[in-house]
Amino acid sequence: MIRFTEDELLQLKPETDGPVNFDVENFVAIIDKVKEIQSLQEEEFQQFHRRRSSHHHGRPKIKHLKPKITTDSEGWSTFEGAAARRKSTAQGANSDDEAPAAKEPVVIAQETLKVKPNKHISSTRPADSRDIVADKPTMNFNAFAALNSEEEEEEEEEEKRG
Amino acid sequence: MSVEEVTQQTGDLNIEEQPTVFSSEKEFELKHPLNSKWTLWYTKPPVDKSESWSDLLRPVTSFTTVEEFWAIHNAIPKPRYLPFKSDYHLFREDIRPEWEDATNAQGGKWTYQFKGKTPEIDDLWMRSLLAVIGETIDEDESEINGVVINIRKNGYKIAIWTKSADNEEALTRIGSKFKTVLKLGEDSPLEFFPHSTASEKHPQPSLIL
* B167 CB neighbour count, 10 Å cutoff: 15
| The pLDDT of residue A91 | 43
Compare CB distances from B70 to A2, A6, A13 and report the shortest one's residue: A13
Is A106 among the domain residues? yes
CB distance A19–B135 less than 8 Å? no
Interface test with B, best of A20, A33, A37 (most B CBs within 10 A): A20
CB of B30 within 8 Å of a chain A CB? The answer is no
Model confidence band, residue A96 (pLDDT cutoffs 50, 70, 90)? very low
B135 conformational bin, left if phi > 0, alpha if psi -120 to 50, beta if neither = left
Q: What is the mean pLDDT of residues B65-90?
A: 93
| The pLDDT of residue B25 | 55
pLDDT tens string B36-58: 999 999 999 988 878 777 789 99
Model confidence band, residue A131 (pLDDT cutoffs 50, 70, 90)? low
Complex ipTM value: 0.79
Q: Which residues of A touch B67 (CB under 8 A)?
A: 12, 14, 18
**Assigned CATH for B32-185:** 3.30.760.10
Distance from CA of A111 to the nearest CA of B (A): 54
Domain positions in chain B: 32-185
Q: Which residues of B touch A35 (CB under 8 A)?
A: 83
Compare CB distances from B66 to A9, A19, A34 and report the shortest one's residue: A9
User: How much of chain A, in percent, has pLDDT values that exceed 90?
Assistant: 13
Q: Which residues of B touch A24 (CB under 8 A)?
A: 75-76
Is A1 among the domain residues? no
Give the nearest chain A residue to B128 (CA atoms).
A6
CB of B47 within 8 Å of a chain A CB? The answer is yes
| The pLDDT of residue A160 | 47
Q: What's the whole-model pTM score?
A: 0.62
Compare CB distances from B61 to A10, A17, A20 and report the shortest one's residue: A20
| The pLDDT of residue B155 | 92
CA-to-CA dists, residue A90 to A86, A93, A102, A105, A108, angstroms: 12, 10, 12, 16, 20
Backbone angles phi, psi at B88, to 5 degrees: -105, 140
The structural domain count of chain A equals: 1
Compare CB distances from A38 to B33, B84, B135 and report the shortest one's residue: B84
CB distance A38–B66 less than 8 Å? no
CA distance B160 to A1: 19
Is A112 among the domain residues? yes
CB of B180 within 8 Å of a chain A CB? The answer is no
Rg from Cα positions in chain B: 20
Mean pLDDT rounded to a whole number for chain A? 69
Compare CB distances from A34 to B71, B74, B83 and report the shortest one's residue: B83
Q: B165 and B195 in contact (C-beta within 8 Å)?
A: yes
pLDDT tens string B85-111: 999 999 998 899 998 899 999 999 999
Domain hosting A38: range is: 6-160
CA distance B104 to B92: 11
CB distance B44–A34 less than 8 Å? yes
